[in-house]
Amino acid sequence: MTELEQQLAKALARRDAPAGFSDRVLAAVQQSNRRVPWWRKMVPKSSASAWRLVPATVALVIAMSGALYQHHEKAEEGETAKRQLIAAMKIAGEKLHTAQQRVVEIGEIRTNEGSY
């Protein structure tokens, strides 16, 4: 080891951490352990509080089911109406086609009669 290296080892000797450092670290660790995510704060800690939430939860579930059922019904009605409209348009189209064919046939007969 050169003289400079020896001086460096002296100059860079370890220093004591500030007083109370380890206590502050352990306190910070405890603090970070205590930090809970937001959704955990919503959940009641005691079972009594949890039971009090049951009716509200049931009501919420029923209301949501009702809303979903209504939405489903409306969607179903819409689908039926759509199917009926398509069928009606199809029938009308077929009838129109038949009538058009008939008109063409009559036209052809008259043309033939005229040529004789």
List contacts with another protein (CB under 8 A): 2, 4-5, 7-18, 21-22, 24-26, 28-29, 32
Query: Could you tell me if residue 44 is left (phi over 0), alpha (psi between -120 and 50 degrees) or otherwise beta?
Result: beta
Residue with tokens 């809970």: 36
Give least dist CB 45 to another protein, A.
25
**Cβ-proximal residues to 44 (8 Å cutoff; 6+ apart), any chain:** 50, 52, 53
Question: In the complex with another protein, which residue's Cβ is closer, 22 or 80?
Answer: 22
Q: Which is nearer to another protein, 33 or 46 (CB)?
A: 33
The nearer residue to another protein, 21 or 51, going by C-beta atoms, is: 21
CB-nearer residue toward another protein: 25 or 91 = 25
Rg (CA), the chain: 43
Using an 8 Å Cβ cutoff, are 31 and 40 in contact? Answer: no
Closest approach, Cβ 25 to another protein, in A, equals 5
Residue 32: CB minimum distance to another protein, A? 6
Query: To the nearest whole angstrom, how small is the minimum distance from the Cβ of residue 64 to another protein?
Result: 38
CA–CA distance, 36 with 49 (Å, rounded to integer): 19
